[in-house]
């Protein structure tokens, strides 16, 4: 496995060798500084100033060379422009084709320059993080805060490439101009609907987006799934080809995601009424709703491990658990048992196959369609969240068949039973196990027959020691290995144990997981107690509560469209992150009941602010999380998706338990008591964000 220092030496262009960051020298300097400060020969202030000047010199060298190369590219485009002007009169097809190829050659050279910038930008980030790791996470904050926004900033030249974007624009315009559309030469400015389908330009745009953190709608929504896209330049082999890819199996995974989210939220408008009908307090709805999340804490781990060997069997097991869980949920009324009701919800949680759904997209969908599939995963979740309460609002009836009650409380269970039975039949006849799983299982069987069984990733992980010898962090030359640090290119080997995954959690990643916990906690408090609160204060009917929750759920996709298409390209993700956290805090603060009169406008407006900006926050939070976490957390059992799922699930459990516990103080105090933890956690997350703000640069 190649660390970044060696990767830099292997990938750099020989003719540009002297202009790359001297990463090896900088690493040695960091090691020397550590020894000197430990021996008392240097104080930290001297080290910070000296290392800052050294890094300034490295960045200046890179930037001056970058500007020089941009000038060469601009000159070549200018000369080609003169040739293009002469061709306007002749319109010779062969000469136009030659000129188009000449522009593409410029594009290829621009790709080399973008690669140069990307490698150096990665080197700068890594050396900052290495210094932070050795000196207590102080240098990045100091360096970025003093350099990033300075009017003479050279750091911005590397991370925000206005000059390169201008060259990309010139190439795109001229290549579009030279495309022959039946004798017309349309302008990309006069016809913005025209999309230039040139492979060179597409690769350049991808590289520019990666470098500047620009985004588009699909990319933004897809990142919610926390499926880290492969780097186009990494040379990693895509093991999934178009022939082995099975669209119907992907559709079944998305259907599982949709139905599970419907199953989660379909009971929210009626859970309080159901608990009262069984002789419990209305606030026991927190236990009813949260029990599904409790079971999901455990199911996420074993489903993630199970997906190492199969996708079909976990999905079948998931469907069976959800069918049985909903059956018990529906029968609890007639047997008059709260315990049966809760057991039913626990079984539903044990059927949570979101880890399998996410893993299928990551491992079994080709790279070129993986982004769309990731966006489909997020969209299916959002639609399920909206459809659940909406469906509950339509089930306002009451009748009996053979002594079984069908009303607003039990019908969600019966409806979901039917849905999962139908899904299981569809799964059985249509799902196709991916080819690489079949091959691996064949190899495992053969190995077992020969007396040499091959352990699964989970078993390998459990066998790993929780404390790893420090020697593993050294390479063969005795230098620090970079593999245990965040780097999108160094390694794709998955973490094989919880301890290994935890070691990959830098302060930035931990803060992002805290933010994810906070927003899920706040949203769960809002949604789960909505029926109790609105009934107590406003006498809302079940249909009204269901309509309100459905409207909240329907805001998810429009908000993502606005943020993903526009906002993320106007502001840095870390700026949107802080602004969204503050708005969530405002939404929580305005939700408190300050006077004896609590009005519908106050509740609805504060709920909308909290929910909408929590959705904005979730998108940006997961986008940053996918960027700052180690690439080793993008695959395997103990992946970033599992960590974020566990953080969100634990937040939901904590929120639902808070609602039930607060119910003992009376419904009059429920609202303020449950909002207080949300407020405190939100303040803590804002403080933590500011502490790691510059590490998100």
Q: List pLDDT tens digits, range 607-616.
A: 999 999 998 8
586 — pLDDT class (breaks 50, 70, 90): very high
Question: Nearest to residue 22, comparing CAs of 124, 90, 111, 94?
Answer: 124
The answer on 344 and 199 residing in a single domain is: no
- The crossing angle, in degrees rounded to 10, of helices 93-135 and 199-212 is 20
The answer on 605 and 558 residing in a single domain is: yes
Q: Are 26 and 134 in contact (CB under 8 A)?
A: no
Q: Structurally, how many domains does the chain consist of?
A: 2
Largest CA distance in the chain: 88
260 — pLDDT class (breaks 50, 70, 90): very high
Q: Any idea which of 10-24, 310-324, 474-488, 673-687 has the lowest mean pLDDT?
A: 474-488
Query: What count of residues does the chain have?
Result: 697
CATH number at 581 reads: 1.20.1250.20
Contacts of residue 481, defined as CB under 8 A and 6 or more positions apart, other chains included, come to: 3, 472, 473, 474, 475
In a domain, 472, yes or no: no
In a domain, 281, yes or no: yes
The answer on 281 and 190 residing in a single domain is: no
CA 354 to chain centre: 14
The answer on 280 and 145 residing in a single domain is: no
In a domain, 240, yes or no: no
Q: Is the model's pLDDT at 544 over the cut of 70? A: yes
In a domain, 233, yes or no: no
Domain coverage including residue 172: 4-225
- Tell me the Ramachandran region of residue 505: left when phi exceeds 0, alpha when psi lies from -120 to 50, beta otherwise: beta
Mean pLDDT of the chain: 80
pLDDT in tens, 633-665: 766 677 777 788 888 899 999 999 999 999 888
The answer on 175 and 292 residing in a single domain is: no
**How many CB atoms sit inside 10 A of residue 320's CB?**
16
Q: How many CA atoms lie within 13 A of 15 on its CB side?
A: 3
DSSP classification of residue 496: -
Q: Is the model's pLDDT at 354 over the cut of 90? A: no
How much of the chain, in percent, has pLDDT values that exceed 90? Answer: 35
Q: Is the model's pLDDT at 187 over the cut of 80? A: no
In a domain, 519, yes or no: yes
Give the Cα separation of 354 and 263 in Å (integer).
13
Q: Are 25 and 57 in contact (CB under 8 A)?
A: no
Q: How many CA atoms lie within 13 A of 515 on its CB side?
A: 34
Q: Name the pTM for this structure.
A: 0.74
Structure tokens at 540: 């809302």
Position 441 scores a pLDDT of 53
Position 258 scores a pLDDT of 95
In a domain, 648, yes or no: yes
CA 433 to chain centre: 26
Q: Are 464 and 496 in contact (CB under 8 A)?
A: yes
Structure tokens at 42: 């240097």
Which residue did the predictor score with more confidence, 472 or 265? 265
Give the Cα separation of 656 and 651 in Å (integer).
9
In a domain, 474, yes or no: no
Give the Cα separation of 697 and 681 in Å (integer).
24
pLDDT in tens, 374-408: 888 888 888 999 999 999 989 888 898 988 999 99
Question: Nearest to residue 224, comparing CAs of 638, 512, 560?
Answer: 560
Specify the residue for token string 């994810």.
516
pLDDT in tens, 672-685: 999 999 999 999 99
Position 493 scores a pLDDT of 65
pLDDT in tens, 200-218: 777 777 777 666 665 666 6
Specify the residue for token string 């927190």.
286
Q: Any idea which of 531-535, 562-566, 620-624 has the lowest mean pLDDT?
A: 562-566
Contacts of residue 674, defined as CB under 8 A and 6 or more positions apart, other chains included, come to: 525, 529, 655, 658, 659, 662
The answer on 292 and 202 residing in a single domain is: no
The answer on 188 and 313 residing in a single domain is: no
């Amino acid at each position: 496995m190649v660390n970044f220092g060696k990767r830099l030496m292997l990938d750099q262009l020989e003719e540009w060798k002297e202009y790359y960051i001297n990463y090896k020298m900088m690493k040695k300097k960091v090691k020397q500084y550590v020894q000197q400060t430990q021996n008392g020969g240097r104080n930290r202030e001297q080290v910070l100033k000296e290392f800052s000047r050294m890094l300034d010199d490295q960045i200046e060298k890179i930037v001056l060379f970058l500007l020089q190369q941009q000038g060469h590219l601009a000159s070549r485009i200018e000369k080609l422009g003169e040739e293009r002007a002469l061709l306007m009169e002749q319109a010779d097809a062969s000469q136009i084709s030659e000129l188009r190829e000449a522009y593409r050659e410029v594009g290829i050279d621009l790709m080399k320059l973008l690669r140069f910038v990307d490698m150096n930008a990665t080197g700068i980030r890594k050396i900052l993080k290495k210094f932070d790791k050795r000196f207590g996470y102080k240098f990045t904050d100091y360096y970025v805060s003093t350099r990033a926004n300075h009017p003479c900033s050279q750091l911005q030249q590397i991370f925000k490439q206005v000059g390169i974007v201008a060259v990309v624009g010139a190439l795109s315009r001229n290549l579009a101009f030279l495309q022959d559309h039946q004798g017309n030469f349309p302008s990309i400015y006069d016809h913005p609907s025209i999309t230039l389908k040139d492979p060179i330009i597409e690769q350049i745009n991808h590289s520019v987006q990666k470098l500047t953190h620009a985004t588009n709608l699909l990319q933004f929504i897809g990142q919610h799934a926390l499926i880290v896209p492969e780097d186009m330049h990494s040379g990693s082999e895509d093991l999934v080809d178009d022939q082995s890819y099975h669209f119907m199996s992907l559709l079944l995974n998305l259907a599982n995601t949709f139905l599970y989210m419907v199953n989660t939220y379909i009971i929210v408008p009626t859970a309080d009424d159901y608990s009262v009908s069984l002789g419990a307090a209305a606030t026991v709805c927190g236990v009813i709703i949260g029990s599904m999340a409790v079971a999901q804490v455990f199911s996420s781990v074993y489903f993630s491990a199970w997906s190492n060997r199969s996708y079909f069997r976990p999905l079948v097991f998931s469907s069976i658990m959800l069918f049985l869980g909903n059956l018990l949920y529906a029968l609890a009324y007639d047997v008059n048992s709260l315990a049966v009701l809760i057991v039913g919800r626990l079984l539903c949680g044990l059927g949570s196959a979101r880890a399998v759904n996410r893993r299928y997209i990551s491992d079994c969908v080709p790279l070129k369609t993986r982004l769309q599939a990731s966006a489909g995963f997020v969209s299916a979740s959002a639609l399920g969240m909206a459809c659940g309460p909406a469906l509950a609002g339509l089930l306002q009836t009451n009748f009996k068949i053979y002594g079984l009650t069908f009303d607003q409380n039990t019908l969600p269970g019966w409806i979901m039973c039917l849905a999962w039975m139908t899904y299981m039949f569809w799964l059985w006849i249509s799902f196709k196990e991916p080819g690489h799983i079949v091959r691996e299982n064949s190899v495992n069987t053969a190995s077992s027959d020969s007396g040499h069984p091959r352990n699964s990733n989970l078993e390998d992980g459990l066998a790993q020691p929780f404390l790893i010898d420090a020697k593993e962090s050294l390479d063969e030359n005795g230098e620090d290995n970079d593999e245990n640090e965040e780097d999108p290119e160094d390694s794709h080997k998955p973490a094989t144990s919880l301890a290994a995954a935890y070691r990959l959690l830098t302060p930035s990643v931990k803060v992002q997981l805290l933010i994810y916990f906070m927003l899920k906690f706040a949203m769960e408090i809002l949604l789960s107690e909505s029926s109790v609160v609105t009934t107590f204060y406003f006498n809302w009917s079940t249909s009204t509560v269901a309509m309100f929750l459905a409207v909240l759920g329907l805001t998810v996709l429009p908000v993502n469209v606005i943020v993903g298409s526009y906002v993320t390209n106007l502001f840095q993700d870390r700026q949107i992150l802080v602004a969204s956290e503050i708005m969530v805090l405002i939404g929580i603060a305005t939700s408190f009941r300050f006077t004896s009169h609590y009005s519908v406008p106050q509740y609805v407006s504060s709920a909308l602010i909290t929910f909408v900006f929590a959705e904005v926050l979730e998108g940006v939070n997961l986008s940053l999380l996918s960027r700052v976490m180690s690439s080793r957390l993008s695959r395997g059992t103990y992946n970033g998706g599992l960590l974020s799922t566990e953080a969100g699930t634990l937040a939901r459990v904590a929120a639902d338990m808070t609602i039930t516990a607060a119910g003992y103080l009376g419904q009059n105090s429920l609202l303020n008591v449950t909002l207080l933890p949300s407020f405190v956690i939100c303040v803590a997350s804002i403080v933590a964000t500011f502490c790691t703000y510059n590490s998100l640069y």
